[in-house]
Each structure stands twice: as C-alpha cells, then as structure tokens.
Structure 1
Amino acid sequence: MDKTLHLAIFGFAFVVGIGPAMSQSADEPTRDLLASQIRDQGFTCDKPKGAEREVKESKPNETVWILTCENDTYRMTVIPDMAAKVEKLKK
C-alpha cells in the first residue's frame, strides 16, 4: 500500500474516533496499522501482539500508544500528518 495512502487511512481512523473506541476484538486493525507505521520508520515489529492507548499521556492531536511486538515494546506518539515519535521500552 502506498505510504501516503496508508498514513491517510490511519489518520482518518483517529479523526473520526475509530481508534479510541475500538473493542478488544476490533483491536487488530489498530495494532496492525501501528506496527506498519513503526516498520516504515525503520523499527522492527515482528508479529504485533497488542496496542494499548495511554489515555493520560495523550493530548489533543497526539495519541500515545504502547505497541507490543514479538521482539520489542514501543511507546508511540501518533501526530496527524507527521512521523510518530517512537521510544523503545525496556523489556
């Protein structure tokens, strides 16, 4: 998928409120989109296991997620129309 289209779809999901309102069973698209974005930015995320939104850390237009992958865990700050801020967390 074209990176620009991918980011547009990802941003649209959050603008319309799909991301924060997802149930556990619908979490897979969020987890997979975050994993794809992190890989596009040069990080490794083999087999994403989960994505949890950090409500207290998030701000308007800055959604913070903890992305758990098979190999690592990351804190991602997703900002519309920008690359995510990524911090690798210690296991």
Structure 2
Amino acid sequence: MGFGGSVSAMITSLKNNKRKRVSAFEKLERLQKENNDTLHFKKSASKKELTQLKKRVLKENKSQLIKNSILFFLIFIILVYTTFVFMNS
C-alpha cells in the first residue's frame, strides 16, 4: 500500500496538536509578574491645564473627523458618478 507518507503526516499533525498551548491569561499573568515597575512622572499638570488640553484634543479630533468625512464623501460621489457613466456608455 502506498499511503505511508500521508499516514506519517497525519500522525505528525496529531502529535503537534497534542502539545500544551499557553493561554492568553497565562501570558498576561507571567507578564505582570515580570514587570512590577511603577510609572513615575516628573511633570504634573493643573486642572486648568488638563481641561485646556482636553478641549484642544477634542477640537483637533472633531476637525480631523470632518476632514475624513468630506474626503470619504467625495470619493464615494466620484465612484458613483464613474459607475453611472460607464454603465450608460
């Protein structure tokens, strides 16, 4: 019988599938045990500075969202237009 190679590959595959796999939780626990470092910040910000920073970041995010939305809308309109032009040709 000439099926020795396929049976051998199947046995190897089954052996590889039997190996113990490390779960994500075990990896996380090991990482937490290894890294017991704490964060130290040399600079501190006042409440007023934090609120100004928050407002600035929100404003930048809003403007970026508007720019991305306009760009997406323009590309969509161009695609729809070209689709109709080629379908009617």
Q: Shared fold (TM-score greater than 0.5)?
A: no
- Give the TM-score of the pair, scaled to structure 1: 0.22
Q: Which has the higher helix share?
A: 2
- Give the TM-score of the pair, scaled to structure 2: 0.22
Q: Which has the higher strand share?
A: 1
- Larger relative contact order (Cα-Cα within 8 Å, sequence gap ≥ 6): 1
